[in-house]
Amino acid sequence: MTVPTAHVYALGAALFALGVAGFLVRRNLLVVFLSLELMFNGAIVTLLGAARARATAEPSTFALFVIFLAAVEVSVGLALVIALFRLRRSVDSDAAASLRG
């Protein structure tokens, strides 16, 4: 396959940026976490683009660590969401505003 590396990077950046946009704009905490997953995947695509550009398996092995991290992040994050839901009966991120100054 002869796709320019720039296009692979652009796809990774677009996924990451869409994830950030969702993270900033949405209030539903579950969708916020889905946006986080988009960001992780953008990072993985970028790592794979680098692996191909340099013809070494190192960046794509590093991408495995991203997946490990995502698994831990999701389980802890969803546990927090459920804890918040028990407390406030809502998964709106505005429901957790007790510390607002």
Partner 1 sequence: MAEALFYALALTALYGAGNVIARRHALVAAVHLALTLFALSGIYLLLGSPLLAFLNLLVYAGAILVLFLFVIMLLDLRRDEPWPLDLRGKLGPAAAFVLGVEALALAFASGDGGEGPAYRETTDQSGEILFGQYLFPFEISGLLLLLGIVAVLVLARRGPRPAPPSSEGTAGVPEPMAQAHP
28-67 residues in contact with partner 1 (CB under 8 A) are 28, 30-31, 33-35, 37-38, 41, 44-46, 48-53, 55, 57-58, 60-65, 67
Among 4, 43, 97, 100, binds partner 1 (CB under 8 A): 4
Q: Is 15 in the site for partner 1 (CB under 8 A)?
A: yes
Q: How far apart are CA 64 and CA 86, in angstroms?
A: 33
Residues 6+ apart with CB under 8 A from 46: 8, 9, 12, 13, 16
Which amino acid appears at position 34 of this protein? L
Rounded to a whole number of angstroms, the minimum distance from the CB of residue 66 to partner 1 is: 10
Is-contact 36 78, C-beta < 8 A?
Answer: no
- Residue 10 or 101 with smaller CB distance to partner 1: 10
